[in-house]
Structure 1
Amino acid sequence: MNQKNFLFRSPAAISIFILILTGWLISTQYFGLSLFASQKSLRLPQLGAATGDIYITHEWWRLLVSQFLHVHFLHMLFNAMCILILASTMERKHGWRVLLGIYLIGGLTGQAASVWAYPLLVTDGASQALMALCAATFILLPRSSLVWFASLIVAIQVALDVHAIAGIKAGHLYGFVAGVFISLAIFFIPGKQALPVK
């Protein structure tokens, strides 16, 4: 597939990728940091990251905006690239509505779970939505060559979580579970099938 066809057939995936990069660029410019410098997590709520305060302020929009903010450059780049690869294939196979449904619902569920579980911490990043996409890949693209890639992403995430907190972070777990349920609902829609992607 040439570049023109890729861009034409994956506009939603490309848009998500650009939004994640844009979120990083905005935060570095806003805080006057170099492109590769780590962000200070406690300052990210100024740009839309979420904390337990949303249950008082009801600023629910933060659950969406926080998905495009990251603390570390490499983490941001890893999320953005993995999402682009999985999302572009999902979009070409099942359409942009399915992709956005999985990404947004999975991401919002994961962010909400993270805020609920860790109200004193700052919730940000696209990892929750990425976990939803991994779950969707297993169910909606079972014969795709990307299944091994999604498995690797999940393994890396689990390993990092276990190393950090000796368990699985709530946002990642619930993002993945949301991806499972959304994908099963899509799979059983009459006429919808998870056909192999070549």
Structure 2
Amino acid sequence: MNHQKYPLVTIIISLVTLIYSLYVNYEISGSLLGKIKITQLEQYGGITFEHLWNLELWRLFVSQVVHVKQLHMFFNVASFLLLGIILEGYIGAIRFFLLWFISGAVGTLISTLTVEPPWNLGTGASQAILGVAALGVLLLYKKIDTSLFLKFAVIFAILPALLLDLIFVHYPKLGHVTGFMVGWIIAFYYSHRDESLKIVCEKNI
């Protein structure tokens, strides 16, 4: 496996998230940081299982880059950048994108099960970021990468999300837990399917 030099997927997804989320916010509220309601995001990519049954598959991607609160979006972009700068190079662009997309899509869909309609629209990048963070946790657990930068990135991504869940709903949200678990399964699969991952990582620590 080649250890790619630039985290292209990380940069592209971060820019798309930043630009699209701010654009949608401006379209709805007339301000880049104006207050909007989650129900207003349906036409812009918010997803439920009903949309999936109707084969509106584009929402699986777009729902992960549009946000209700732009300050939350900025934090998510920062978390994703920190993680992606380190982790994308370990597994390659395509695998990294699949890790982000699958864990985020599944986590976002599952998150809609705990909210009453019409507020049960799945949006935001938190589920995908926790899925990506799971790869970081796996690398730390296996002592493949024990750098302070990775430790900081993982804590920066996971701890605030967990604390906010405990403060507002008093338990980790189902979508967040699902995103992390799906990410862990994918990362575990990658690590066992490609034994060269450990060799590549060790050479680049």
TM-score range, shorter chain: 0.7 to 0.9
Identify which of 85, 88, 93 aligns with 1:91: 88
Q: Indicate the residue corresponding to 1:4 in structure 2.
A: none
Partner of 1:71, secondary structure, is coil
Aligned partner letter, 1:186? Y
* Deviation per residue, 1:108-157 (Å, 9 max, x gap): 11112112333522210000000001111111354232123312421211
Q: Is residue 173 from structure 1 mapped to residue 177 from structure 2 by the alignment?
A: yes
Give distance in 1, aligned partners of 2:102 and 2:71. 25
Which residue of structure 2 aligns with residue 82 of structure 1? 79
- After superposing on structure 2, the runs of 4+ consecutive aligned residues of structure 1 that deviate more than 4 Å are none
Amino acid at match of 1:130: I
Unaligned runs of 5+ in 2: none
- Stretch deviating more after TM superposition (166-175 or 53-62): 53-62
Q: Is 1:59–2:63 an aligned residue pair?
A: no
State the one-letter code of the partner of 1:34. S
SS at match of 1:92: helix
- CA contact under 8 A between 2:16 and 2:65: conserved in structure 1? yes
The more displaced of 115-124 and 166-175 is 115-124
Worse-matched range after superposition: 28-37 or 15-24: 28-37
RMSD: 2.0
Alignment of 1:15-26 (within 5 A): 15-26=12-23
Q: Distance in 2 between matches of 1:134 and 1:70?
A: 20
Deviation at 1:55, TM superposition (A): 5.4
Aligned identity (percent) is 27
1:9–1:92 CA contact under 8 A, matched in 2: yes
Residues 59 and 115 of structure 1, relative CA distance in 2, 3 Å threshold: farther
Q: Secondary structure at the match of 1:110?
A: helix
Alignment check: 8 A CA contact 1:110 1:172 kept = yes
Match of residue 107 from structure 1: 104
Which residue does the alignment assign to 1:5? Answer: none
Provide the C-alpha distance between the structure 2 equivalents of 1:119 and 1:182, rounded to a whole number of angstroms. 30
Name 1:132's counterpart in structure 2. Answer: 131
Where do 5+ consecutive residues of structure 1 fail to align?
1-7
Relative to structure 1, is the Cα distance of residues 119 and 185 closer, same or farther in structure 2, using a 3 angstrom cutoff? farther
- 8 Å contact kept, 1:112–1:171: yes
Counterpart amino acid of 1:44?
L
What is the TM-score when the length of structure 2 is the normalising length? 0.84
1:152-167 equivalent positions in 2, closer than 5 A:
152-167=156-171
Q: What code does the residue aligned with 2:81 have?
A: L
What is the identity, as a one-letter code, of the residue corresponding to 2:178? Y
1:184 aligns to 2:188 (yes or no)? yes
**Contact between 1:41 and 1:122, CA under 8 Å: does it hold in 2?**
yes
| Alignment check: 8 A CA contact 2:48 2:109 kept | no
Query: What is the alpha-carbon distance in structure 1 between the residues aligned to residue 100 and residue 194 of structure 2?
Result: 22
